[in-house]
Structure 1
Amino acid sequence: MDESGFSTVQNQTKRIVATKGRKQVGTLSSAERGQHFTAVCCMNAIGQYVPPTLIFPRKNMKKELTDKAPTGCVGLPSESGWMTGEHFLTWLKHFVKYSKPNSSDNKVLLILDGHSSHKHLSALEYAKENNIVLFCLPPHCTHRVQPLDVTFFGPLTTYYNSEVTKWFRSHPGRTITHYQVGELFKEAHVKSATVSNATKGFAATGIFPFNEDVFPEWIFIPSETTNNEINSNNSLEPVEFMESIPSNSEPISSKTASAEPMPSTSSTQNSTVNYFDEIHLKDKTVNDNLSYEK
């Protein structure tokens, strides 16, 4: 399961169809800032979906908000419009209704991220009592190992923005409120909640069928920056990167090296100041020309 935020206005249009050669191309969009809401979705490895849950930023819930929403959809009010621990407990009860984990021999594995709302004590106790095993994904990697993020939320967002654009064209001069998003979200959810998207999501992440080599080696290269050795004092020692030095070169001592900078010269006609330094290293003169812009 995972959550994703949506708005009552469409995002920036990516593609616009127009005749070739036109210099100005326009599209219909809303001038309003829009109001956000949260959609909670869940799917399994064989292409089955739990009816979504919509969280609206309001104190009291009205049934009219979910009149034309997807079948079985649940609406929840929230002052912020985002998931909280209490809402996650309510969603778990909605999840048990469709997953039906009956006994200890028929447990359900629920894969989710490490958001604080998923660690609410009452929700954890309810999951344990109802034979739900919660598996929390590591941080900063859900874009790779969360099936919903890999193959579902992308098409869902695209279809939802398309439905919002169609609504604006058929209702000129009007704005979308939370009372219309249920119908618009339903059309987008029907198009994106396919068996193919669900099965491909679990296969692309290596969860089912299980594939531990699903990710190539180059994906793990950024994590090498945190591979620091631990010394006897349990403190981290940063890895030092040293450039290769030719075998015939001699080490330079700080005592034998001396620097004698020359006074700088400036010109009123040119804004560039040139510095000329002569550095004597073991009877050898190295000229270092540096140029600095004012």
Structure 2
Amino acid sequence: MQHGITSEDIYNFDETGFAMGLVATAKVVTRAEMTGKPFLVQPGNREWATSIECINSTGWALPPCIIFKGTVHIKGWYQDKALPKDWRIEVSDNGWTTDQIGTRWLQNTFIPATNGHMTGKYRLLILDGHGSHLTPQVDEMYIQHDIIPICMPAHSSHLLQPLDVGCFAPLKWAYGCLVENKARQNFNHIDKLDFLEAYPQARSEVFKPETIKNSFAASGLVPFDPERVLEKLNIQLKTPTPPGSRSTDSAPKTPHNLRKSRHLQSKSF
């Protein structure tokens, strides 16, 4: 590859979100004379947790960064035995990533975790065009640490981003199964501690070497194979119809009377 980048130096990172709060998705309100679709009332007390994930094309994943809604860190989060020691937790006003969190993730997670795995001078980081990925501070860190960011075109991550192609959907499914199991045990609310207990288990079921490698392959990245993506697009190539001849005398004409017949005969001699 260009810049001497090998598959060992290719990474993809993105965020994915999880809803916490009441386990039930909706309450159904109905009445005896109702004939149409029941009216749904969504329960309140919902919170959002975000996980920043990053994977390498050779089949391993960096420690994630969990973002909770809040203003301070809670000591109990770090006392949970289910939480791996190398995981990072951040807080924001709504549980989403921010420019500052994106910068700290790059500085405190990505760079230290990948320094020992470099086989060449550069690291290739595949990402979407979210604003927190492309701030001036982040751009400066890319330059200082020889990181080459590749931003995917808008609305293409479901085809081009390995995390979206092969990891996030089974991750959501695995986490959902764990939440359903809690519901069967009469748990009706998922809080931050419950999330920190369930998410590591769901993640370990999905972020396996074979799954990660298959995700990069399905994206056409490693090994490089654009046809893996192009064959998923609904594109039909049409052969253009050649334009008709502009000469009025090239096509044979059938005379409709004796006078026209004699006229055509005189032109052929």
Q: TM-score, normalised by structure 1?
A: 0.64
Give 2:68's match in structure 1, choosing from 33, 38, 56: 56
**CA deviation profile, 1:106-131 (whole Å, cap 9, x unmatched):** 22111100001111111111121112
Q: Secondary structure of 2:125's partner?
A: strand
Matching residue of 1:193: 207
Q: Per the alignment, do residues 63 and 95 of structure 1 end up closer, same or farther by CA in structure 2, a change over 3 Å counting?
A: farther
Residue 174 (structure 2) aligns with: 159
SS in 2 for 1:51: coil
Which residue, out of 55, 59, 78, partners 1:43?
55
Gaps of 5+ in 2: 1-12, 27-41, 238-269
Q: 1:150 to 1:32 in 2, by over 3 A?
A: same
Letter in structure 1 aligned against 2:202:
A
- Asked if the contact 2:218/2:229 (under 8 Å) is kept, the reply is no
Structure 1 distance, partners of 2:116, 2:144, is 10
> Which 4+ runs in 1 deviate beyond 3 A?
9-13, 30-33, 101-105
1:206 equivalenced with 2:220 (yes/no)? yes
| Partner Cα distance (1:183, 1:102) in 2 | 29
Alignment partners' CA distance in 2, 1:86 and 1:107: 24
Task: State whether residues 23 and 183 of structure 2, in contact with CA within 8 Å, keep that contact through their aligned partners in structure 1.
Answer: no
**Residues 99 and 160 of structure 1: is their aligned pair in 2 closer, same or farther, counting only changes over 3 Å?**
same
RMSD over aligned CA atoms reads 2.6
The 10-residue stretch of structure 1 (89-98 or 161-170) with the greater mean CA deviation from structure 2: 161-170
With over 3 angstroms needed to count, the CA separation of the structure-2 counterparts of 1:11 and 1:216, relative to structure 1, is farther
The answer to whether the Cα contact below 8 Å between 1:70 and 1:182 also exists between their aligned partners in 2 is no
Structure 2 equivalent of residue 74 of structure 1: 88
Give secondary structure in 1 for the equivalent of 2:112. Answer: helix
Structure 1 residue 61, shift from structure 2 partner? 1.8
Structure 2 CA distance for partners of 1:215 and 1:12, relative to 1, 3 Å: farther
1:23 aligned partner: none
- In the TM superposition, residue 212 of structure 1 has moved relative to its aligned partner by 2.1
Determine which structure has the larger helix proportion and give its number. Answer: 2
CA distance in 2, matches of 1:86, 1:202: 28
Please name the residue that 2:102 is paired with: 88
TM-score by length of 2: 0.70
User: Secondary structure at 1:134's aligned position in 2?
Assistant: strand
Q: CA 1:123–1:92 in 2, change beyond 3 Å: closer, same or farther?
A: same
Higher RCO (C-alpha under 8 Å, 6+ residues apart): 2
Residue 102 of structure 1 and its aligned partner are, at CA, apart by 8.7
CA contact (8 A) 1:60 1:77 kept: yes
Q: Is the 8 A contact 2:160 2:229 kept in 1?
A: no
2:23/2:188 contact within 8 Å kept = no
- What is aligned with 1:121? 136
Superposed counterparts of 1:1-294, under 5 Å: 1-8=13-20, 33-66=45-78, 67=80, 68-93=82-107, 94-100=109-115, 105-170=120-185, 172=186, 174-216=188-230, 219=233, 221=235
How far apart are the structure 1 equivalents of 2:177 and 2:100? 32
Point out where structure 1 has 5 or more consecutive residues left out of the alignment. 14-29, 225-294
Kept in 1, the 8 Å contact 2:47–2:95? The answer is: no
C-alpha distance in structure 2 between counterparts of 1:74 and 1:113, whole Å: 22
Asked whether the 8 Å contact 1:101–1:107 carries over to 2, the reply is: no
Give the direction of change, closer, same or farther, for the CA distance of 1:220–1:116 in structure 2 (3 Å limit): farther
Q: How many residues align?
A: 206
Percent identity between matched residues is 29
CA distance in 2, matches of 1:80, 1:218: 36
Q: Distance in 2 between matches of 1:155 and 1:63?
A: 30
Task: Write the distance in 2 (CA, Å) between the matches of 1:70 and 1:190.
Answer: 11
CA drift at 1:104: 10
- State how far apart, in whole Å, the 1-side matches of 2:118 and 2:227 are: 33
Distance in 2, Cα, partners of 1:114 & 1:144: 15
